[in-house]
Amino acid sequence: ALAACGLSATNYCDTSGSPSAEKVATAARLVCGQRHVDGLLFSTCIANQALSVTARGLVAGWEAVNWRKPTVVRFAGNQSEEARGIVRAWLDQNRVKNVIVGEETDEWQAAAHLRSLLDGIARAAA
């Protein structure tokens, strides 16, 4: 999906199963703590776990590394609306350019949102 938008993944992380908030926070810290990462596309659909747990893990990881770069999050699954609210509140409070979507948006569309956010920052800097 990223390649279709002219982006390349510099890191990929799969937390599989029913990850705890701590496991998701560790993954978020590892990925978002790297200086060369310009933005984040996070996409999940977990039916067997409350995605609010995943959302709290993302927020904890981002908080730990002071994440402020463009972010697209796609939650589809159990408690996805609550999860989107948790993530949106943190990103908005921290003035992070973001797009938060659900199951109505596929990964290719989500990647296109990230491309748009990154392009907007590049235009503003020029």
Residuewise pLDDT in 10s, the chain (126 residues): 999 999 988 777 777 778 899 999 999 999 999 999 999 999 987 667 789 999 999 999 999 999 999 999 999 888 999 999 999 999 999 999 999 999 999 999 999 999 999 999 888 887
Specify the pTM: 0.92
DSSP string, 8-77: --S------SS--HHHHHHHHHHHHT-TT---EEEEE--SSS-HHHHHHHHHHHHHHHT--S-EEEEE-S
- Spatial distance between the Cα atoms of 32 and 10, rounded to a whole number of angstroms: 11
